[in-house]
Amino acid sequence: MVSLLAAVADAADKPVLPMVVLGTIMTLTYVAIAFDWLHKSLAAMVGAIAAVVAALVLGVFKDEAGHSAYDRAVHDIIGHDVGVIGVIVGTSVLVEIAGRSGLFHFLAIKIVKATRGDAVRLLVAIAAATVMFVTFLSIAPGTMIMVSLALVVTHELKLDPRPAMVVIALCANSGALMTFASGICTIMIGTAGNLPYAHFFLVSTPMAFLSAFITVSYVRWYYRDVIVNSGTDSERDSQVAAFDEWALVKDRRLFYRSAVILGATILGFASAQRLGIGTDFVAFCGGTAALLLSGIHPDEAIRKVNWSLILFFIGLFVIIGAVQETGLLDWQARKMIELSGGDPVTTMLLIAVFVLGLSGILDNIPVAATLIPLVRSMEGQGFDAVPLWWTLVITANLGGNSTPIGSVSSVIALNGLEKERGIKVGWGEFLRVGGGVLAIQSVVVLAYLWIYATFGLFPGMAAPGGGP
């Protein structure tokens, strides 16, 4: 609130009261989400209604004639972000069908069999499979499959499930960095920054591998006393060899079709910019092809779209759009640039630290949603936004590693572990292991970003040294 009031002094070009009121509504909404006062979609919708009412009363939404212009303001705000919603709806349908085809379950058992039941190899295989599944299916469905697999397999092999669960929780966030469509946050930022699909392989994919490697190494070290094999090598080998992956197959034809449609959609994402089409169109084509060719009843697949998340997004976009109209985010962008002395690399690193810290305690979607207009505003003030978009992609995803509620993958893994096996990984344990991982990852991320920015390695960025 103090910082909001401080804005008053500097914001000579915009009225102060709307900034304070709408900034407070946004802050209260985030607090309600963070402290679990309301279901997050409901919190976003309540916040959106409050923001629209406040903006209308305070005259934030005005057209050129000075009249209230609800349609122009609210619908323009939502319309501006409709691409993100389109990508999420399209990929949700596709991922639901591909995830339920049994293909990934089949591969998961094949991967486990390749480890021959060895505890360390199993941990590494689980990490690799998590990254791969999240890459193709996004966080929630990919994590769900891996958590189920790890719960059952560790039980069978009489292994402590905690290392596997923590690895899945943390590596899922690395997987979300792999490509444009691997995570909701990544989709949001990639769409807002118009980041080409192929550029992900140059910037965020190497970081995904690096961060996953850090995770596995640290978790293996942290749980070194419990990652212990039971039985002899040959006993474990024969036990794992008896696993029958064919029991997971529901429809072999759907396997192949899902793989082809998923592959074609990824190719579509990669070529969208060159073809001059939106990624939301590609996602819709993928979702429609899956509905047409899967043989699954369309109602069943459409019902599985995460409509709660869509409502959450709409509410969030309206709140942030209304706040942006007041000029508060422009002011914050200016302050951020001033704080860094106008140096692009310092600004980028400041944002990185801020997002890494905030994503641990707040859902990374609102963090990204708030930072996106801030980066846009910096871009409007002449800043090269390319390094900032990549900073957001990497830090918003990895920032959730520090706490058990920082990312959806941690919530799924830890709840699954407690519900199925009655084992609780508390805040203290998770902070030690996840926080330790994030501490190392943060150092590596900051160094990585600094190297990329200093040596002009971000594809499409202005020459190093360019500032506002």
Among 288, 306, 340, 346, binds another protein (CB under 8 A): 306
- DSSP β-bridge partners for residue 85: none
Residue 330 token pair: 């422009």
The answer to the question of residue 408 lying near another protein (CB under 8 A) is: yes
Least distance to another protein, CB of residue 81, Å: 21
The answer to the question of residue 117 lying near another protein (CB under 8 A) is: no
The answer to the question of residue 40 lying near another protein (CB under 8 A) is: yes
The answer to the question of residue 118 lying near another protein (CB under 8 A) is: no
Helix axis angle for 103-114 and 82-100, nearest 10°, is 60
| Planar angle of CA 342, 347, 353, nearest 5 degrees | 155
| Planar angle of CA 55, 60, 65, nearest 5 degrees | 130
Among 111, 151, 362, 438, binds another protein (CB under 8 A): 151
> Mask of contacts with another protein, 232-251, x by CB under 8 A?
----------xxxxxxxxxx
The answer to the question of residue 145 lying near another protein (CB under 8 A) is: yes
Chain-centre distance for alpha carbon 71: 30
DSSP conformational letter for 323: H
- The Cα 378–Cα 348 span in angstroms is 11
CB of 198 or CB of 411, closer to another protein:
411
Cβ 156 vs Cβ 231: under 8 Å? no
The answer to the question of residue 149 lying near another protein (CB under 8 A) is: yes
The answer to the question of residue 176 lying near another protein (CB under 8 A) is: no
Q: Of 390, 378, 386, whose CA–CA distance to 329 is shortest?
A: 378
The answer to the question of residue 293 lying near another protein (CB under 8 A) is: no
Cβ 165 vs Cβ 417: under 8 Å? yes
> Mask of contacts with another protein, 65-94, x by CB under 8 A?
------------------------------
The answer to the question of residue 17 lying near another protein (CB under 8 A) is: no
The answer to the question of residue 369 lying near another protein (CB under 8 A) is: no
- The Cα 400–Cα 403 span in angstroms is 7
Among 86, 99, 315, 373, binds another protein (CB under 8 A): 99
The answer to the question of residue 201 lying near another protein (CB under 8 A) is: no
Among 27, 420, 446, 468, binds another protein (CB under 8 A): 420
CB atoms within 10 A of CB 256: 12
Token pair 């339920």: residue: 100
> End-to-end distance of the chain based on CA atoms, in angstroms?
28
Binding site for another protein (CB under 8 A): 33, 36, 38-43, 99-100, 102, 105, 108-109, 140-141, 144-145, 147-149, 151-153, 156, 242-254, 295, 297, 306, 308, 405, 408, 411-412, 415-416, 420
